[in-house]
């Protein structure tokens, strides 16, 4: 799994960003399922880059999974 880091004020931070493909692979779901969840506001929150690509912060994915676990 590739970890992308954002530079902030010339520094690299520990905030890792996952691609949609990486999230789908980790969850074992199709890309279309992930986008269906996003459209229904049921998936993890992400951010859209200026080039239109979506990234999910690792801590947001972990938070979302923990919430699902608590609801089960």
CA angle (59 as vertex; 56, 64 as ends), nearest 5: 80
pLDDT classification of 72: cutoffs 50, 70, 90: confident
Name the pTM for this structure: 0.76
Question: How far is Cα 49 from Cα 61, in angstroms, rounded to an integer?
Answer: 17
| Mean pLDDT computed over 8-19 | 63
List, for residues 27-58, the tens digit of each pLDDT value. 999 999 999 999 999 999 999 999 999 999 99
**Is pLDDT at 12 greater than 50 in this prediction?**
no
Ordered structural domains, the chain, with CATH: 4-71 (1.10.1660.10)
pLDDT at 13 over 60: no
Name the nearest CA neighbour of 3 among 14, 23, 18, 25: 18
pLDDT of residue 29: 98
CA torsion, ordered 37, 39, 41, 47, to nearest 10 deg: 90
Q: Which sign does the torsion angle of CA 14, 18, 57, 47 carry? A: positive
């Amino acid at each position: 799994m590739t970890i992308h880091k954002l530079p902030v004020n010339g520094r690299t931070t520990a905030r890792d960003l996952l691609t949609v493909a990486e999230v789908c692979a980790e969850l074992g779901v199709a890309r279309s399922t992930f986008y269906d969840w996003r459209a229904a506001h049921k998936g993890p929150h992400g951010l859209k880059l200026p080039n239109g690509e979506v990234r999910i912060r690792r801590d947001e994915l972990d938070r979302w999974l923990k919430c699902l676990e608590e609801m089960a």
